[in-house]
Structure 1
Amino acid sequence: MPTHESANMTSHIQPLPDHWRRPLVALVLLLAVILVAYRHSAWGMAMIWTRSDTYAHGFVVPIISLWLVWRQRAVLAPMVPRPGRLAWLLMAGAAALWLAGDLVAVNAATQLALTTLIVLSVPAVLGWRVAKALAFPLAFLFFAVPIGDFLLPRLMEWTADFTVMALRASGIPVYREGLQFIIPSGAWSVVEACSGIRYLIASVTVGCLFAYLSYQSTRKRLVFMAVAILVPLVANWVRAYLIVLLGHLSGNTLATGVDHLVYGWLFFGIVIGVMFLIGARWVDPLPQIFHETVADARVGESVAHRTPWLGLALAFSVVLAPHGALAVMDLATQTRPVQLVEPVVADPWRATAKPPSNWQPAFEDASDTLDAGLIDGQSQPLGLHVSYYRHQNYQRKLVSSENVLVKSHDPTWARLATGSFDARIQGRPLRVNSAVLRQHAPGMADAGQRLLAWRFYWVNGAFTASDYAGKIQGALGRISGWGDDGAHIVIYTPLSDAKGAEVDASARLQSYLDSQGDALVAALRQTRGRD
């Protein structure tokens, strides 16, 4: 005999209404097809959750979303699930976004598109009324998408700005070069872990859930979300300043190594805890749930045996269409190994035995690379680096945030300044990315070799320095039958300490492009081997 308590518990769990069963089976079937068809994107997202502390919360986001859906079961039960009008058109847009993202191998785009397809499958099968009732649980799924690394450069700059300003306000002299600065007790640098991106994403995710569960007022929710964004930013700046100050006052015996990460999370935990305690003072009471009329339930019973086959067929077609398009485009992609052709050197330049520096760009997983040294008529040296990419994928790709001139944790080289320069190649304007690099020399702020480097891409037979244009050109190349071949090109030259040295170095780099541009293009085309 069941106990009184278990009997009451059973009475509160309502059986699944008949008119929900077939639509739910159709929804599960569609979701299964989406996850199988886009399994590479789903797996890539899960791998990022595994290896990145910043996005580890992605594992619990789907679980939380399912729990939030379960909380709405009393509201959903009387509703009549019907395929939503034109939902498949929005799914087509998400599928097109996935195709575009896959063409340029952008994880953020493909994973965002996959999540959008999952979310839109609800109105496609169950209808817009159901989707509206589940608006927040569905929207919360987007927190599983590991997007946010594009904020790193700006957040690192803000952290360095605040830390240096606060140190100077504390009476500590600071010498700053880019993201690195020196104080009397030692040298410090702002790296990715100091950006505060982990704190920001964690605060926004948890803050959004707290605001939804705690408040019914839209105004309160927006105010709390604004606080959840501002608090971790300011807290991270204060954290960075306190860690440097603590290291300085302790003679670098405290807040160094792993300690500063532990102290940082402890400080952040306290700040966020206080934020939630304050926010809890204005919690709204839960709203009462009013069940729909019996008439609505009867309408539901009348459609109990209808299955949305047409809407399901349209959704399946939209989901699978991008994979058919990719199969056709991949026929034009070369797979043979790359053998980079070295450009022929023309007067007034001459080839040298080795490049003018031991520095190399931190470009990853290139199909082949070339490092060459040249010298002009005035015996001024110049270096050429080419990283060539073919048969690109999500690990080996031409345009990537991982492909940088200098890694932030590089023990030998540092990037001091970045900018752009209006150059020319083959008589055409080319706005290149420019950077000043310096070789580290322990104990000295201004010692070591300095370089001026220009970087740009050759993709789809054209030059560009824009990451966005490079991505677009790469996609157009695959669509037009060019293939996915492309090259990352860097030319660089040493910088002297003389006044106007950067102007002279820029003129030297431009002189190389003026006289050697045709030879460079010829070598790249010969490497591609399809002209």
Structure 2
Amino acid sequence: MLSGFLIVFGLQVVVFSFWGDVAAAAHQWVTVSSYGYCLLIPPLTLYILWSKRAGLRDLAPDVWPWGLGVVALFAVVWGLAAVAGIAEAGQFAVVGVVQGLLATLLGRRIYRRLWLPFSLLWLLVPTGEFLVPALQSATAVGAGGLLGLSGIPIYRDGLTILVPSGSYVVAPGCSGLSFLLSALVVALTFADLFFARWAKQILFVLATLAMSVAANALRVFLIIAVAHATGNVADIAEDHLLYGWAFFSLLLLGALAVGYRFRDDPPSQPPGMPEILGTRITLSRTLWSLALALVAVVVGPLALGRAPPDAGTARAVVMPPLSCGGFTPSARPSLWRTPAALPGVDGLTVLECERDGRVVHVVLAVLERPVRWGKLAGVERWLIDRDLWTRLEIAPATARIDGRDEPVLAERIGQGGSRRLLWSLFWTGGAWRRPGLDTLLADVASDLTGRRRAVALLVGADEDATEDAVKPGGANPGGGDASALLRDFLAGSPLRALLGGPLDGGFPQTSDNAEGR
């Protein structure tokens, strides 16, 4: 009873201390359909814990001091995520703090028996978007293969499926991410309730996840096949999400029925008094452990709450004039979003340069104190409208800038039959870096030493149809002519004049912009 009361109290303190992260996650639960399953996790976890109460009669809660280390570790992770502005990492850290608190107050033995229902709490974090490109490809390949087997004439171009009755695109919303995550929650719950052996639990979860991926490809195939057979009279594609969930629910129920036939009988529970394992529980020991855990929880939010008031304020930066170098200025429409759509960017220069009819789209974005509030993380994605373009391939590459080979991230995006190659890199910590963990760590170090500025450079070019076979990780990363075009532009660009100068703090500033992130 005492441990239960203290756990409830501790969870309330955690939620209050990290309210921003909790509220952001809850907002996605109710606004993003892929994460609606999160609303089921708290009641499912409580039900599993209640159903296991008889199996815990031989144990009693015992304070586990090493759980305090888990709390402190994830509190540090949360602090780094808050400084770097990585919301997803911060939310995972909050769940890690909760796990450490539970392990501390319940003890290692009880926590180990309840690890599976406690593991469901990790799924409260809205995550999984990194799986969308792979799921889209798997769905397109699977649906295309089934269409071919059914005898329907088909031509598949990446994520676009062409049949005589029309054209269909496997958009991010059709990737089946929501099916996969929902299947994971249901499979973990079922496996914990009806299987006693780990091998069965793991096998059932993996089989259910594979079924969800295959079911999504089958769903897309059926939608296209029915639309083709009826000449789109039923307009089934308009209601594909409703039909998809009904179809997926039937398959999931079938999987549960099969799994139920192989269930394990619950083990008999020996009568007797609970055994207090390890050291004897005392009120003072438990309260001291809770107090130390909560101190580790609240220190980070209180410290970051004292950050300078202008930490997240966007500043208007006077950008230096840039030219196209050996290329010719072009009047083609810009590839990039407008500055009004990027409140976290403090300065933006957009160029459209042309050579021999090929256009290079260039954007240079300056971010003051980028590590704070997550200005740096993901800015290369903000500049492209991801609702219209789908990532096809991504790989590291190199480009020659100022006579040196510098790291870039090569990304191919597609829309219908159009393909574009994007290269992105950052200047932070006195060097060019690819987007990723290395950039974030260098940016944190720059922030600590007072060099609070970063520059994001993105260049893009349209690809020819003949370049589809060239992979980003090949000898010529990211495409044939488009790759060579971008290399030539960066090798002869005037950007080297900025190295060691304005990039490290030489851009003059105008008045503060009231709009912050």
TM-score normalised over the length of structure 2: 0.83
Task: Please give the secondary structure, in 1, of the residue aligned with 2:363.
Answer: strand
Residue 195 of structure 1, CA deviation: 1.0
* Cα distance in 1, alignment partners of residues 115 and 464 from structure 2: 60
Q: Which runs of 5+ in 1 are unaligned?
A: 1-19
Task: Please give the secondary structure, in 2, of the residue aligned with 1:403.
Answer: helix
Q: Residues 83-107 of structure 1, C-alpha deviation per residue, up to 9 Å, x if partnerless?
A: 2132111212211221222232222
Q: 1:498 to 1:206 in 2, by over 3 A?
A: closer
Given candidates 371, 387, 391, the residue that maps to 2:350 is 371
Letter of the 1:215 counterpart: F
Equivalent residue number for residue 375 of structure 2? 397
Q: Which moved more, 1:335-344 or 1:260-269?
A: 335-344
* Cα distance in 2, alignment partners of residues 332 and 420 from structure 1: 35
1:223 aligns with 2:226: no
Q: Residues 404-435 of structure 1, C-alpha deviation per residue, up to 9 Å, x if partnerless?
A: 6754642xx67776555421122332233345
Given candidates 141, 145, 155, the residue that maps to 1:165 is 145
Equivalent residue number for residue 460 of structure 2? 492
* Cα distance in 2, alignment partners of residues 28 and 438 from structure 1: 49
Given candidates 103, 113, 117, the residue that maps to 2:97 is 117
Given candidates 417, 428, 432, the residue that maps to 2:404 is 428
Letter of the 1:374 counterpart: C
* Cα distance in 2, alignment partners of residues 102 and 436 from structure 1: 30
* Cα distance in 2, alignment partners of residues 225 and 261 from structure 1: 24
Given candidates 333, 336, 357, the residue that maps to 1:357 is 333
Given candidates 475, 489, 494, the residue that maps to 1:512 is 489
Q: Which runs of 5+ in 2 are unaligned?
A: 471-477, 510-517
Q: 1:507 to 1:343 in 2, by over 3 A?
A: farther
Q: Residues 172-230 of structure 1, C-alpha deviation per residue, up to 9 Å, x if partnerless?
A: 34333332232222211111122111111111111111111112233322221122111
Equivalent residue number for residue 466 of structure 1? 435
* Cα distance in 2, alignment partners of residues 24 and 214 from structure 1: 26
Equivalent residue number for residue 288 of structure 1? 268
Letter of the 1:251 counterpart: G
- Percent of residue pairs identical: 23
Equivalent residue number for residue 273 of structure 1? 253
Residue 49 of structure 1, CA deviation: 0.7
Equivalent residue number for residue 48 of structure 1? 28
Equivalent residue number for residue 455 of structure 1? 424
Residue 124 of structure 1, CA deviation: 1.5
Residue 336 of structure 1, CA deviation: 5.1
Letter of the 1:314 counterpart: L
Is the Cα–Cα contact under 8 Å of residues 348 and 366 in structure 2 kept in the other structure?
yes
Q: 1:361 to 1:438 in 2, by over 3 A?
A: farther
* Cα distance in 2, alignment partners of residues 255 and 527 from structure 1: 58
Q: Residues 11-30 of structure 1, C-alpha deviation per residue, up to 9 Å, x if partnerless?
A: xxxxxxxxx43x44433332
Equivalent residue number for residue 449 of structure 2? 480
Task: Please give the secondary structure, in 1, of the residue aligned with 2:196.
Answer: coil
Residue 364 of structure 1, CA deviation: 5.2
Letter of the 1:370 counterpart: T
* Cα distance in 2, alignment partners of residues 318 and 327 from structure 1: 15
Is the Cα–Cα contact under 8 Å of residues 78 and 89 in structure 2 kept in the other structure?
yes
Q: 1:93 to 1:355 in 2, by over 3 A?
A: farther
Is the Cα–Cα contact under 8 Å of residues 319 and 507 in structure 2 kept in the other structure?
no
* Cα distance in 2, alignment partners of residues 388 and 336 from structure 1: 10
Is the Cα–Cα contact under 8 Å of residues 311 and 369 in structure 2 kept in the other structure?
yes
Is the Cα–Cα contact under 8 Å of residues 423 and 430 in structure 1 kept in the other structure?
yes
Task: Please give the secondary structure, in 1, of the residue aligned with 2:349.
Answer: strand
Letter of the 2:316 counterpart: V
Q: 1:285 to 1:115 in 2, by over 3 A?
A: same
The structure having more radius of gyration, on CA atoms, is 1
* Cα distance in 2, alignment partners of residues 408 and 188 from structure 1: 18
Q: 1:179 to 1:127 in 2, by over 3 A?
A: same
* Cα distance in 2, alignment partners of residues 473 and 298 from structure 1: 46
Q: 1:527 to 1:84 in 2, by over 3 A?
A: same
Instruction: Give the RMSD, CA atoms, in angstroms.
Output: 3.7
Residue 46 of structure 1, CA deviation: 0.7
Equivalent residue number for residue 243 of structure 1? 223
Is the Cα–Cα contact under 8 Å of residues 409 and 434 in structure 2 kept in the other structure?
yes
* Cα distance in 2, alignment partners of residues 528 and 170 from structure 1: 62
* Cα distance in 1, alignment partners of residues 431 and 45 from structure 2: 46
Equivalent residue number for residue 26 of structure 1? 6
Is the Cα–Cα contact under 8 Å of residues 364 and 458 in structure 2 kept in the other structure?
yes
Equivalent residue number for residue 319 of structure 2? 341
Is the Cα–Cα contact under 8 Å of residues 91 and 117 in structure 1 kept in the other structure?
yes
* Cα distance in 2, alignment partners of residues 131 and 319 from structure 1: 20
Q: 1:374 to 1:527 in 2, by over 3 A?
A: farther
Residue 325 of structure 1, CA deviation: 5.3
* Cα distance in 1, alignment partners of residues 135 and 372 from structure 2: 25
| Count of residues paired in the alignment | 495
